[in-house]
Amino acid sequence: MALPQAMTERRRRFPLAEMRDIRQAGDRTRLALLAIALLVAGSIFSMLVSVTTGASDASIVDVIANIAGSETALSARDRIIIFDIRLPRTILGFLIGASLAVSGTVMQGLFRNPLADPGLVGVSSGASFGAVAMIVLGGGLAAPFEAPLGIYALPAAAFGGGLATTLLLYRIATRHGQTSVATMLLAGIALGALALALTGLLIYMANDQQLRDLTFWSMGSLAGATWTKIAAAGPIVLLSFTALPFMARGLNAITLGEAAAFHMGVPVQRLKNVAIVGVAAATGASVAVSGGIGFVGIVVPHILRMAIGPDHRFLLPAAALLGGSLLIFADVLARTLVAPAELPIGIITAAVGGPFFLWILLKQRSRLAL
């Protein structure tokens, strides 16, 4: 009698749960579109706040009027501050935040776990090693590579370091088509430590001027943002973003497993190749111009999954918008909390992202068997 009663109870409970899941899934599409529209508005607002926050007393209305063509809205001094200092910093911050958030979203979808992030699994450390190698050795061993690449030498070096780390990490963590979360995290820690050790060796070889630049750069900062840096990193990041619309369906399918995705017609190996190269390129370009900025790639995807669900068609563009906006606000805090001095932006993101990551780890540890 106990078994039929249990089966009856299961029939009574599961259809209700299934109907609720279906109803919620149907509602999430409209919610996701609304969230993306709000994030677009929030991104514009964050940019306006960024370009009007600081020593200059230019207001948002004055900046908008000047952009619209009014020459009298801003003084010559304010125009220099806004368009030569703050605007490049704001645009670069948005691009970096978007690239880090999207890279984290793609890695979490590709590895099918919530703990993957370029900063946590060593990809950012590998990219940092490539960038530091170009800075320290640019006048010596790396000169043959630096001369033909010009302003793209630093992003290219960071891309190479990030790509090598990502490929090695994927090779170690994947066996028989299955990616081990525990192996990935441990291998990422080991690869990150190795990259940091090599980076430390290069820093030991650096001169005084290089040491001053590297010390502040290693903590993450947008202080040196210029239109030249945007010209160097921007095309690489934007080129990586062009693959996003084609990856969303594959990342949705791969959450069911690589075998299931293959039978659904998804070119799994090509998807993995594009995802790995895209993440390495976006992360490498970001690290090259801003240094190490952690936790954006793990915080943003989790916030959005809780809000709009796991559908990558909406998750990827929403991550780009939210990641860019959050990094802009973090940069505003970094240059106003201790004004006239400036905090490295990596300190702000780590102070917020560290506790959030611990919360995720505690929440997921029973499922991940960690």
CATH code, domain carrying 287: 1.10.3470.10
Q: Is residue 24 situated within a structural domain?
A: no
306 within a domain of the structure (yes/no)? yes
Residue 9 lies in a domain: no
Domain end point (choices 194, 219, 244): 219
Give the chain's domain count: 2
State whether 170 and 152 are in the same domain.
Answer: yes
pLDDT given at position 43: 95
Q: Enter the tokens of residue 334.
A: 């970094």
Expressed as residue numbers, the domain containing 242 is: 32-50+74-114+224-364
C-beta separation of 365 from 240 below 8 A: no
Domain stops at, among 204, 219, 234: 219
Contact 100, 118 (CB under 8 A): yes
Bridge partners (DSSP) listed for residue 178: 175
Task: Please check whether residues 253 and 356 belong to one and the same domain.
Answer: yes
Q: Say what the pLDDT of residue 232 is.
A: 84
pLDDT (0 to 100) of residue 1: 42
Instruction: Report the pLDDT value the prediction gives residue 35, as an integer from 0 to 100.
Output: 93
Which pLDDT score, from 0 to 100, does residue 142 have? 62
Q: What is the mean pLDDT of each run of 10 residues along the chain (370 residues)?
A: 44 40 57 93 93 75 71 73 88 94 91 78 85 79 68 81 85 74 80 90 83 74 86 88 86 85 86 84 85 86 89 93 95 86 85 81 62
Predicted TM-score (pTM) of the model is 0.81
CA nearest to 248, candidates 296, 315, 322, 298: 315
If asked whether residues 228 and 297 sit together in one domain, one would say: yes
Give a yes or no: residue 69 inside a domain.
no
Distances (CA, A) of 215 to 36, 119, 163, 347: 37, 18, 24, 13
Distance CA 62, CA 69 (A): 11
Amino acid residing at 81? I
Single residue among 164, 190, 219 that ends a domain in this structure:
219
According to DSSP H, which parts of 221-344 are helical?
227-241, 244-254, 258-263, 268-290, 296-308, 312-334
Whether residues 109 and 142 share a domain: the answer is no
State residue 241's pLDDT score: 87
Same domain, 237 and 261: yes
Residue 369 belongs to a domain? no
Same domain, 144 and 188: yes
